[in-house]
Amino acid sequence: MLCLWVNGLASLSKNSRRVAIGGVLLAPAVWWADAAMDYFYFSAGESFLESLLRPSPRELWVRLMAGLMFIFFGTYAAFLLDRAERTELELRRSNEKLEELRVELERLVVVDPLTGVFNRRKFHESLGMAIGAAMRHQHLFSLLMLDIDNFKSINDRFGHQVGDDVLRKICDLVGSSIRSADQMFRVGGEEFCLVATAMDAEQARTLAEKVREVVESHQFPVVGKVTISIGIAYFKDGDNQQNIFARADSALYQAKSQGRNCVVYAA
């Protein structure tokens, strides 16, 4: 029995929903036009379900017990037959929903929930891939390590909610200052890393200064001025995750020692 009859089908077939809904199909009442000479080329259920789940441009014929013959052209996926087919459709929809949830869960696994940037787990994965590409294809890159200056005093003086707002805003500012190919990661409380691909040492220094200046020039609500320090390490032959990260961390420590709010490049 026909259970659904959308406006598009009514227009194509010149039969209204009132006429079609509830109509009992002849058996076999559904077949492709190019198989019309062989009534048993498809069973009714197979044909209907195929048209429902895998729309086809082929011509479809449907005949009701009342003798009405409907012919459809073009793509269609708008009618149901019986409970079994409705169940099949619901399963398909459920699977699609599960797939959406799976994708969302995979995203949550690699994203920092507070700031929305990638987390430390994703950082190690991406850094490993960047090193592999640099070793195999000479796709060189720079690693930038950022730390918010005197962040503990912000939390102590204004509270953790204000501190969280500062973290989020800095991520927004940095994110709007880097290229789409660059990736930002939160690797600690107020520490972040940038993996800047296809970027030599001078370009990395220019990017770091740009990011530093963008943060310094922003007026943060409640807090006012906030600055960051940045250490840079450029990929060298033989680098692994541990030593390039250590060089960037050492450069960041030097930036802190030199008075903060500056950029230091690792030797």
Q: Which residues are catalytic?
A: 190
**Nearest C-alpha neighbor of 107 from the set 116, 95, 115:** 116
Answer yes or no: are the C-beta atoms of 103 and 62 closer than 8 Å. Answer: no
**How far is 54 from 149, CA to CA, in rounded Å?**
57
**How far is 252 from 90, CA to CA, in rounded Å?**
55
Tokens of 17: 């929903």
List of residues 6+ apart from 167 with CB closer than 8 A: 114, 115, 148, 186, 190
Supply the DSSP symbol for 190. S
Tokens of 179: 């290229």
**Nearest C-alpha neighbor of 189 from the set 158, 219, 166, 214:** 166
Report CA dihedral (214, 215, 221, 222) to the nearest 10 degrees: -150
**How far is 207 from 196, CA to CA, in rounded Å?**
9
